[in-house]
Amino acid sequence: MAERGYSKISVVPLFKNKSLSAGDSGTSDVIDLREVAQQGFFSLYHTAAAGTSTTCGTTVFTYAGCSTESGNFITPTAAVAIGTSGTAATSKITSFEPELMPFMKVIATQTGAGTAGANSKITADLILQ
C-alpha cells in the first residue's frame, strides 16, 4: 500500500523512431492527464537521431489541449515550445508548465532549420507527476 502523499511518476510514450523531414509534423495520441498529472510536474524526454542523412533537422516540440478527449485540440495562447532538438543527434530532458487541461497532445515539428530536408528519427516520452 502506498504511503499517504505518495505520487508516482508516470511515463507516457509519445513517439518511437518517428521519421520526420523538413516541414513534417507528428502528433501523439491523446494523453489523459486527469489521473497522472496530480502534482503538475511535466518533463519531456526527447532524442533525435539522423535518419536518411548524416545530420538531423531541427525539431520543435509543442502541445495542444482540450477539455474533452475527442474535441478540438488547440494550442494555448501563452504556450511556448517545450523543447528543441537541434541538428546534432542528441537527447534532452526539458521541464515545462502547461496550462490546466484534462487532455493533451504533443506535436513534433521538423523545421529543417540548418539542414533543410534532413530526415530525423524522433523518440519522445512525457514524464508526469
Domains of the chain, earliest start first = 10-128 (2.60.120.260)
Task: Please state the pTM of the whole predicted model.
Answer: 0.85
Between 4 and 41, residue with greater pLDDT: 41
Confidence of residue 68 (pLDDT cuts 50, 70, 90): very high
- The length of the chain, given as a count of residues: 129
| Interval 82-104: pLDDT, tens | 877 766 667 889 999 999 999 99
The reported pLDDT for the residue numbered 21 is: 82
CA 51, CA 118: separation in Å to the nearest integer? 8
CB 59 within 8 A of CB 129: no
Residue 28: count other Cβ atoms within 10 Å of its Cβ.
20
What average pLDDT does the segment 41-70 reach?
A: 86
Three-state DSSP at 88 gives coil
Cα distance from N-terminal residue to C-terminal residue, the chain: 18
* Chain position carrying cell 511515463: 11
State the pLDDT at residue 116. Answer: 55
